[in-house]
Amino acid sequence: MTDAAELRARTAALLAAHPPATTGRTDFLRARFDAGLAWVHYPAGLGGLDAPRSLQAVVDDGLAAAGAPDNDPRRIGIGLGMAAPTILRYGTAEQKERFLRPLWVGDEVWCQLFSEPGAGSDLAALATRAVREDGADGAGSGDWIVDGQKVWTSSAHLARWAILIARTDPGLPKHQGITYFLCDMTDPGVEVRPLRQITGEAEFNEVFLTGVRIPDAHRLGEVGAGWQVARTTLMNERVSIGGASLPREGGMIGPVARTWRERPELRTHDTHQRLLTLWTEAEVARLTAERVRQQLVAGQPGPEGSGLKLSFARLNQEISALEVELLADEGLLYSDWTMRRPELVDFTGRDAGYRYLRSKGNSIEGGTSEVLLNIVAERVLGLPSEPRDDKDVAWKDLSR
């Protein structure tokens, strides 16, 4: 089994063969992937070495010390955190070979076409249809034609590819009859429109799909098994949103703590007590996220990621509210309320007013807090499920 010493040797060999100072960024990242040092726990030949996931830090630390470029993970977070682990688990050999390398290098940005105007919290109620054309053998083995609308799609205006779920059999109950696809965002039937948010920006989009043609070779998993595949994506998404690796005072708590230290004239007894409470909760959440990442070494993420996402949303909203209150009149300032379509969401490099407004979306994106509470209750705590009368009814017979 690959150990830390071997990874250090491989990292040194990569740096010797491709010195960061004289090697182009993209060329270096491709060489890193080919050397198995992209994500060491992935299989050999797919950016990894079948090594323990915990050893990734050995590579990352060695490359950072040498000034090597990274793959700008925030820009390609949907690809790294959602598409890649799903492709790895359910993809064919050809799909893994085609998509994982350009995804990790950042040559191709990904987005997620899941939520719909009538199927957000109840995602399984989605109405986007995928109908299969007859193939040359006349047996329905041709391309899929997709029609529908998706919403709240981060990075759709930048994306080359999308992970997409669509209904392929409306005669089955809503959690069945769904199939998972890899959608080419350059298809002429794909239209992306910006959704302007309370921040003034449009990082989200709505996406209209009209006669979009998807080859059957870009289907991920079995026909009708899309909900199972999507659950893998969603569990990885919640870990990637709520369980990001942070140093102490990383994330939203950092700017508030710095303001408290540097601006003693703003302090009050009430804000002091609230800051202490939120600082402690943020540290507990950070350490819990570390434990969840350690569990990932042994396999796929579980429902515990939903708990991380819950705490992430609540803490961000409470911390940003405290920051605005602490800054008093200054906290109401938001100097760059402009319509733009950013590549990144930067919580810490902006005004307190931006953080306060943007954090409102944290309890919606990646699964609403209400849905995640149900997941934690049922799948972590083992509580009884909520009564539901639609699980065994054909989707076409449901009222919408």
CATH of the domain at 269: 1.20.140.10
pLDDT at 296: 59
In a domain, 387, yes or no: no
- Residue ending a domain, among 179, 196, 224, is 224
pLDDT at 140: 60
pLDDT at 351: 87
**Would the pLDDT of 87 be above 80?**
yes
In a domain, 79, yes or no: no
Is 134 in a helix, a strand, or coil? coil
pLDDT at 137: 58
Do 172 and 126 meet the contact criterion of CB atoms below 8 Å apart?
no
Q: Range with the lowest mean pLDDT among 6-10, 114-118, 338-342?
A: 338-342
From the list 116, 206, 237, 323, the catalytic residue is 237
Do 333 and 269 share a structural domain? yes
In a domain, 162, yes or no: yes
pLDDT at 294: 67
pLDDT at 203: 86
What CA–CA distance (Å, rounded) separates 34 from 325?
A: 50
302-351 pLDDT per residue, tens = 677 778 888 889 999 999 999 999 999 888 887 777 778 877 777 767 88
Higher pLDDT, 371 or 8: 8
**Residue 15 to residues 20, 37, 292, Cα–Cα distance (Å):** 7, 12, 31
- Residue ending a domain, among 204, 224, 244, is 224
CB-count exposure of residue 22 (10 Å: 0-12, 13-18, 19+): exposed
Higher pLDDT, 118 or 167: 167
**Mean pLDDT, residues 160-169 taken together:** 98
Do 394 and 173 meet the contact criterion of CB atoms below 8 Å apart?
yes
Do 197 and 152 share a structural domain? yes
In a domain, 309, yes or no: yes
In a domain, 173, yes or no: yes
194-210 pLDDT per residue, tens = 999 888 888 889 999 99
Do 100 and 205 share a structural domain? yes
**Mean pLDDT, residues 240-265 taken together:** 83
Q: pTM for this structure?
A: 0.87
**Would the pLDDT of 145 be above 90?**
yes
In a domain, 386, yes or no: no
In a domain, 75, yes or no: no
Q: Range with the lowest mean pLDDT among 102-111, 131-140, 284-293, 315-324?
A: 131-140
Q: How many domains does the chain have?
A: 3
In a domain, 219, yes or no: yes
CB atoms within 10 A of CB 217: 11
- Which structural domain, as residue segments, surrounds residue 205? 93-224
203 is catalytic: no
Do 242 and 172 share a structural domain? no
pLDDT at 138: 56
**Residue 286 to residues 251, 255, 315, 332, 366, Cα–Cα distance (Å):** 10, 16, 11, 28, 18
What CA–CA distance (Å, rounded) separates 374 from 377?
A: 5
